[in-house]
Structure 1
Amino acid sequence: MAIAFTFPGQGSQSVGMGKELADNFAEARAVFEEVDDSLGHKLSDIMWNGPEETLTLTANAQPALMAVSVAVMRVLEARGLKLADKVSYVAGHSLGEYSALCAAGTFSVSDTARLLRIRGNAMQAAVPVGEGAMAAIIGLEHCDVDAICSQAATGGVCQIANDNGGGQIVISGSKAAVEQAAALATEKGAKRAIMLPVSAPFHSALMVSAADAMRDALASVQKQSPCVPLVANVLAAPVSDADEIAKLLVEQVTGQVRWRETVEWFAANNVTTLYEIGSGKVLTGLARRIDKTVSGISINTPADIDAALQTLLG
């Protein structure tokens, strides 16, 4: 009957995120101030006041989501929660891996913010706007989508980026190839094939220059083994060695986020509760759809924190 903490990825951001935490908890305010200082501008002002299009920019959304997740963690810790005593594993969806690792002590808050700013800028710069695309395929099995991607890849890069579970798979790559794959998916019986309003083809081979940038950035930052194992995106299995984690974070830039398999791994290894730490409830919803034996609980408001502490600390 183990517990895991999970950390959301891009798409969970919204204007106003973290404001209630900052208004109620000094520990949360300190995290937002540290992130602002490490980036050299008031990201917290964009988070709380927008505009939405500025917050949604990859280079802002990634450190912003991490900041909210870590703010929640610092409040929980200040009220007596020790991660290693109560939680068996951490995991994060894409950029959420960095939030998870910061929470587990691998990276400092400042270093995590800077790493995510580098990651966001590098991913945005990897492919000229308009040359890449992503699409969500709803209602087909992983093997079917994989075959469709292989067929469409004759016209450019096309691969599975996120296996989110619940019949939702996101593909990524060259615009023409992804559009062809979306059309093929509809022909093969997909319920929906939706082109996504994204600025770059994340988690595809087109991101190789961003992977190179992250290899350099991760090599130069101080890191420690996490206090609990990370169930890594590209493995869907736990890892604890800091150098191995850095290698997997580089692979993740061009590789598949295996979230369905991650939740299935939790279920198969006696993890019954996934607490989603930070903005939104995306991962909580996915957990329910992937495996009914796993319950998801989101923590992103003061009331959520109070309820979670009652359960976790008794």
Structure 2
Amino acid sequence: MAFAFIFPGQGSQFVGMGQALADAFPAAREVFDRVDTALEQKLSDLMWTGEVDELTLTANTQPALMACSLAAMAALDAEFGVNITDAKFVAGHSLGEYSALAAAGSLTIEDTAKLLRIRGNAMQSAVPVGAGAMAALLGASVEDAEAACAVGSEKGIVQIANDNATGQIVLSGEVAAVEAAAQAARDAGVKKAMMLNVSAPFHCDLMKPAADAMEGALAEACILPPLVPVVNNIQARPISDPDDLREDLVKQVTGRVRWRESIEWMAGDGSVDTFAEPGCGKVLTVMLRRIVKGVSGNQLDTPDALKAFAKEIKG
């Protein structure tokens, strides 16, 4: 069995996230404590008993999702003997790439939490409220989405933000441009084009101020070679050189999340037949079914799920 860990991005959060892991496993609890200390905030309290509106603030959501993923990884290792080096690759969706790097030993948990706090604040403040928008195109190909963006670009900035799965593409940019692109997609016969309720237009050129902020923050961060290769969002191929990882984390802020291609590569050239999603929910596990056939997906968000996965891996 060849497997990869895939780490979720924004949208998987919910109040109560990770509490079952912290209650069941001391190693998981330690991860939450380390993140709380690094941020000088009881983020774990917000995650478990806080208000959903505060949890969904980008500056809180990003480190919270990372903490949940790394808590699951710590418990897998300490309680069940499943180590990151048992995996062939790691990958993460948007902010999940930071979780992947921390899991693979490239970043410390503390540095990852601080970087994601900077990233969350920078992305939220990069564009004035109401100036940006995102839209999901369902049933669209990349070519359909690019054609829609070409029409929308007459109104301003609009580009593909996420190539999530076969027939699931997200656009991002200025409001008028995204609306025009969504309408162009409908006119072209795309199954569904709907505006999304988001706090900012992520992964487009409007995020340039956030990319600049991350370039400065990452320049000072210690990034080590990962223990297993990281299939990153920018190249959709395995990367291990710290300088390349650092450069692509900056590009990722304004660049396309090439998730479909990443999964296709791991399942194809990478020969991965099993994927495991540590942390929160099953967003990426569900996407798998739309991208490749014949692979196994595992959501690792409860003590029982961790135990079952470890049994599958270890036999």
TM over 0.5: yes
Report the CA distance between 1:65 and its aligned residue.
0.3
Report the CA distance between 1:150 and its aligned residue.
1.6
Residue of structure 1 in register with 2:164 after alignment: 164
2:292 is equivalent to residue 291 of structure 1: yes
Q: Which amino acid aligns with 1:298?
A: Q
Give the distance between the partners of 1:4 and 1:38, measured in 2 at CA: 28
Farther off after superposition, 93-102 or 138-147: 138-147
Residue of structure 1 in register with 2:84 after alignment: 83
Residue of structure 2 in register with 1:16 after alignment: 16
2:258 is equivalent to residue 276 of structure 1: no
Give the distance between the partners of 1:83 and 1:10, measured in 2 at CA: 23
Farther off after superposition, 100-109 or 138-147: 138-147
Deviations 1:16-47 (A, max 9, x none): 00010111111111111111111111111110
Residue of structure 2 in register with 1:132 after alignment: 132
Contact (CA 8 Å) 2:151, 2:180: kept in 1 or not? no
Give the distance between the partners of 1:271 and 1:22, measured in 2 at CA: 30
Report the CA distance between 1:82 and its aligned residue.
2.2
Q: How many residues align?
A: 313
Give the distance between the partners of 2:163 and 2:113, measured in 1 at CA: 26
Query: What 5-or-longer segments of structure 1 have no aligned partner?
Result: none
Query: What 5-or-longer segments of structure 2 have no aligned partner?
Result: none
Q: TM-score, normalised by structure 2?
A: 0.98
Give the distance between the partners of 1:82 and 1:136, measured in 2 at CA: 36
Q: CA RMSD in A?
A: 0.8
Q: Secondary structure at the match of 2:172?
A: strand
Q: Which amino acid aligns with 1:15?
A: V
The correspondence of residues 230-241 of structure 1 with structure 2, limited to 5 A, is: 230-241=230-241
Q: Which amino acid aligns with 2:311?
A: Q
Report the CA distance between 1:197 and its aligned residue.
0.8
The correspondence of residues 1-314 of structure 1 with structure 2, limited to 5 A, is: 1-79=1-79, 80-84=81-85, 86-269=86-269, 270-314=271-315
Report the CA distance between 1:114 and its aligned residue.
0.3
Q: Which amino acid aligns with 1:186?
A: R
Give the distance between the partners of 1:183 and 1:170, measured in 2 at CA: 14
Contact (CA 8 Å) 2:4, 2:88: kept in 1 or not? yes
Give the distance between the partners of 1:139 and 1:224, measured in 2 at CA: 40
User: Where in structure 1 do 4 or more consecutive aligned residues deviate above 2 Å?
Assistant: none
Give the distance between the partners of 2:135 and 2:295, measured in 1 at CA: 28
Report the CA distance between 1:2 and its aligned residue.
1.6
Report the CA distance between 1:180 and its aligned residue.
0.8
Give the distance between the partners of 1:107 and 1:29, measured in 2 at CA: 19
Contact (CA 8 Å) 1:267, 1:293: kept in 2 or not? no
Q: TM-score, normalised by structure 1?
A: 0.98
Q: Secondary structure at the match of 2:153?
A: helix
Q: Which amino acid aligns with 1:2?
A: A
Q: Secondary structure at the match of 1:271?
A: coil
Report the CA distance between 1:245 and its aligned residue.
0.2
Report the CA distance between 1:69 and its aligned residue.
0.2
Identity of aligned residues (%): 57
Q: Which amino acid aligns with 2:277?
A: E
